[in-house]
Structure 1
């Protein structure tokens, strides 16, 4: 970040409180996989807010502001947007602290407790926020996301062709998603995007929210980067969500728990394939570090989901015999 941009950001933040630059301090408060950067603003009395720097050439903050204000007005736990300068890409937000949910993942019992609370938050989001203003998570978007896998993971990083069964899997996963009820989808409902503040969970990084499948955020949570649930745990947690969704009408009374869990596994396969592609793209195109080391974890998620989808046994076999050895070897070759 250039010194002129940090000066402009500091000046803007001070002006929002009628102060001079010398009256406030800005300290880095973390970043993410995008071009956004965050700073903690400390005011003269000691209170704090977060300033988001999102360069407009790389990041359009308009959706974040619009979604954030709608969801805040709906009573959802998201940071309040106190001020927005969309022309320069500066936002002033609530400070939700430094503790994302995964920092509480110390043992299985604690993890399960937080995850059940997060499942309840997904239900709250789906019940309170209308999906109508959001872009649709339609067939073109679903297939574009799936195509990140053969393009970036297989082609650009591994130099492997997709197997013959790829087309059938691609079509089946997209169709499974499209058959589900449409709700508001955060789209990256991972532990890293759930902040714990005064024992309450808050959602952040919701700028890519869409109107999409009811199971998607469930899968973002259960197949995230910080924990791998056993098949029995996965089924129990997805079942908890299913039963609540039937009680409050988000799923029809005809929706069986077994069918919903199968849909969850198909959604998990879609997201794992997408993530494998995105992590390779972040590395190769955007020169971000640390993402390749996470590939084996999402490969585990992919194999877990495929094990529950016997109709895709040929692809699952290819993953075991071709993809996994290629990833393991490529990572080993890259290790100094």
Structure 2
């Protein structure tokens, strides 16, 4: 998610008249908006505007997250928010994370249609690391340490009032995402549905990828913990886009961090292994050691997520009219290919998937 990359224009006018009262409520009667800068959003319907302020001593800028009147849940499209929740998941989860000392943006003001947030700048972890190759290990190491702190907080300070503890990334959701991959990464891409028998055989071959989500003891997870959802501000990392946090396998967020999109350009296998070791050691030092079988969980979470992302990107391009994400597909195919080849037990899955996704194989199964 590229929260704070400037855009030149937006398709809809800025509702500054609606934002001005919120600015005064947050920063005092003398605070006013002197400029508004549209910002790049993500794959959701949310939009973002940086507000430059006068008369607000606490903050010269703030970011308005515009939800729209029909976007109250502010959760993932797959989960659809928490049943019975009476506040925005971003606010609910952010309150918990901030209370644990984790570096999330402050919420200055909230309404059912927009939030006024602390501005954490434009520099993503990805951009900072790409700009300074000598700091890649340091920056991603800091992200690993932050992930350890997140998981330790979840283990040591569980809070039923936080929505993240009420929903789980279980086998059902993992299988749904694999079906999403088949539907869009294969069927939408090729323009036709698979024969029923082939579709069933393909999903059966992919079933082992749901096992970590069914068997592993779940931990607190961000769900999209990657280098575009972490920003570098004043020498420290800030966490964004956490509204879909939930309970998930311990390896899931680490796989997201180290294998998302084009991260392999910055994190080669040797550094990936070193950062994984740092994570395992950090969990142990925090008093929450990982369970046996972590390496396999990591590979399977990385592969499940890569396939989900492939399907998602085709969905965004063909259904939502957002083709920009297709540029990341070669790198995501590379992750999926590497994880498939690292798991001999997934040979059947590799053959089945490769029959329909040429980037992942060459031979159609008999």
| TM-score, normalising length: structure 1 | 0.87
- Residue 148 of structure 2 is aligned to residue 112 of structure 1: no
Distance 1:2 1:113, change over 3 A: same
- Residue 331 of structure 2 is aligned to residue 297 of structure 1: yes
CA distance in 2, matches of 1:105, 1:160: 41
Deviation at 1:60, TM superposition (A): 2.3
Which of 300, 305, 311 is the matching residue for 2:345? Answer: 311
Indicate if the aligned counterparts of 1:163 and 1:315 stay in contact, CA closer than 8 A.
Answer: no
Distance 1:131 1:235, change over 3 A: farther
Which of 175, 197, 201 is the matching residue for 2:237? Answer: 201
Distance 1:234 1:4, change over 3 A: closer
CA distance in 2, matches of 1:261, 1:64: 31
- Residue 58 of structure 2 is aligned to residue 48 of structure 1: no
| Alignment match, 2:295 | 261
- Residue 317 of structure 2 is aligned to residue 283 of structure 1: yes
CA distance in 1, matches of 2:335, 2:218: 24
SS in 2 for 1:283: helix
Deviation at 1:200, TM superposition (A): 0.3
CA distance in 1, matches of 2:144, 2:14: 43
Deviation at 1:45, TM superposition (A): 4.4
- Residue 110 of structure 2 is aligned to residue 84 of structure 1: yes
Distance 1:178 1:172, change over 3 A: same
Which whole-Å deviations, capped at 9, do the CAs of 1:83-140 have from their partners, x for residues lacking one?
1102xx1111111111111112236542222111100000111112337532111222
CA distance in 2, matches of 1:167, 1:79: 40
Larger deviation, residues 61-70 vs 102-111: 102-111
Indicate if the aligned counterparts of 1:269 and 1:305 stay in contact, CA closer than 8 A.
Answer: yes
Q: Name stretches of at least 5 consecutive residues in structure 2 with no aligned partner.
A: 1-10, 75-87, 362-366
Deviation at 1:70, TM superposition (A): 1.3
| Alignment match, 2:18 | 8
Which whole-Å deviations, capped at 9, do the CAs of 1:126-163 have from their partners, x for residues lacking one?
11233753211122212111211001111112246366
Larger deviation, residues 224-233 vs 278-287: 224-233
Q: Name stretches of at least 5 consecutive residues in structure 1 with no aligned partner.
A: 328-336
Indicate if the aligned counterparts of 1:282 and 1:291 stay in contact, CA closer than 8 A.
Answer: yes
Indicate if the aligned counterparts of 1:71 and 1:78 stay in contact, CA closer than 8 A.
Answer: yes
Deviation at 1:306, TM superposition (A): 1.1
Indicate if the aligned counterparts of 1:181 and 1:251 stay in contact, CA closer than 8 A.
Answer: no
CA distance in 2, matches of 1:280, 1:7: 37
What is the root-mean-square deviation in Å for CA atoms of aligned residues? 2.6
Matches within 5 A, 1:146-295: 146-158=178-190, 159=192, 161=194, 165-228=201-264, 229-251=267-289, 255-256=291-292, 259-295=293-329
Indicate if the aligned counterparts of 1:38 and 1:53 stay in contact, CA closer than 8 A.
Answer: yes
CA distance in 2, matches of 1:59, 1:226: 32
Which of 39, 45, 48 is the matching residue for 1:38? Answer: 48
Deviation at 1:201, TM superposition (A): 0.3
Aligned length: 322
Indicate if the aligned counterparts of 1:11 and 1:20 stay in contact, CA closer than 8 A.
Answer: no
